[in-house]
Structure 1
Amino acid sequence: MKRYLVLTLRKPAFDPAMIEPHYAHLDRLRAQGRLELAGPFSDRSGGAYLLLAGSLDDAIAAAHADPLHESGSSEVIVHEWDAK
């Protein structure tokens, strides 16, 4: 499994109602053993999470299943991360 950094950056049309579904999505990833870390940015402009996946395509699929992405509330960006 590789590590992927997922950035969620709020768009101007951010829907606060998507926060709880987003947390539920993260909880599902955590239960699957695929989430290492997650948290919001202190300025509340978005957040990030560290995802484990077998490939970039798998990581993008998991990140794009996030309600923040599906609702268009946030831009979701995925980077393979060689964290040490």
Structure 2
Amino acid sequence: MLYVAMLPIIDEQLNAKVRPAHLAYLDDLYKQGKVLSAGPFTDKKGGMVIYRAHSFEEAKALAEADPVIVEKARTLELREWNSLPFPLGE
């Protein structure tokens, strides 16, 4: 299953400090096949991560272990996501 984590920034200075650990954490999860994609929003007010996990609980544990969440630089909204198969109708 896929899960989308919305990560709005609540403390810009703390976020800048923790960002290298956040990126290293996501890179490690990507190499494990646990992160499908991630990136910042163009308004620079946060970002999004798409996790691949067996359950909501697993995805939540992964998202909550992210340094930007642990250090409270960002908030977390996690939702299960059904990706549509493309091309549609085939």
Q: CA deviation at 1:34?
A: 1.0
Q: TM-score, normalised by structure 2?
A: 0.88
- 5 Å-filtered alignment, 1:16-27, equals 16-27=16-27
Deviations 1:4-44 (A, max 9, x none): 00111101x23111111100110111111111111100011
Structure 1: state its 5+ residue gaps. none
Decide which structure has greater strand share: 1
Report how many residues are paired. 82
Q: TM-score, normalised by structure 1?
A: 0.94
Bigger-Rg structure (1/2): 2
Structure 2: state its 5+ residue gaps. 85-90
SS of residue paired to 2:76: strand
What's the counterpart of residue 8 of structure 1?
7
Letter in 2 for 1:66: D
Computed over aligned residues only, the root mean square deviation of the Cα atoms, in angstroms, reads 0.7
* Sequence identity (%): 30
SS of residue paired to 1:62: helix
Report runs of 4+ in structure 1 exceeding 2 Å deviation.
none
